[in-house]
Amino acid sequence: AQSVTQLDSQVPVFEEAPVELRCNYSSSVSVYLFWYVQYPNQGLQLLLKYLSGSTLVKGINGFEAEFNKSQTSFHLRKPSVHISDTAEYFCAVTVGRGGSEKLVFGKGTKLTVNP
């Protein structure tokens, strides 16, 4: 079975510092990978996705992620964070195909950006 592990439940950083949110997945087949962001009291918004092709994926708000098949990782990075990046971030992977395709989420990482 596929699963997603987000290695840090909380990450505090100072404004303008770089950040990396870690995500590992378990899979023996091809995968599609996603990062979603949830701002306080809101729904989830797609940040970026890896479906195929280049392993370095750029998303919205200056975030990027790198798909590493050998390490089964899909870590999210931003070189300089802002206060407005404070949110919860979820890594997700698809399981199944066609009519049985589903999305499995990690437990989330709360990013707090301090002034």
90 binding other proteins? (CB under 8 A)? yes
42 or 80: CB nearest other proteins: 42
7 binding other proteins? (CB under 8 A)? no
The residue ranges of DSSP E strands in the chain, in sequence order, are 3-6, 10-14, 19-21, 23-26, 33-38, 44-50, 56-58, 64-68, 73-78, 87-95, 102-105, 109-114
In the complex, what is the shortest distance from the CB of residue 4 to other proteins, in angstroms, rounded to a whole number? 8
43 binding other proteins? (CB under 8 A)? yes
Q: Which of 73, 78, 94, 111 binds other proteins (CB under 8 A)?
A: 94
Report d(CA 41, CA 115) in Å as an integer.
Answer: 22
Residues in region 47-66 near other proteins by CB under 8 A: 49, 51
Report d(CA 21, CA 58) in Å as an integer.
Answer: 15
Task: Give me the residues that bind other proteins (CB under 8 A), please.
Answer: 9, 32, 34, 36, 42-46, 49, 51, 90, 94-108
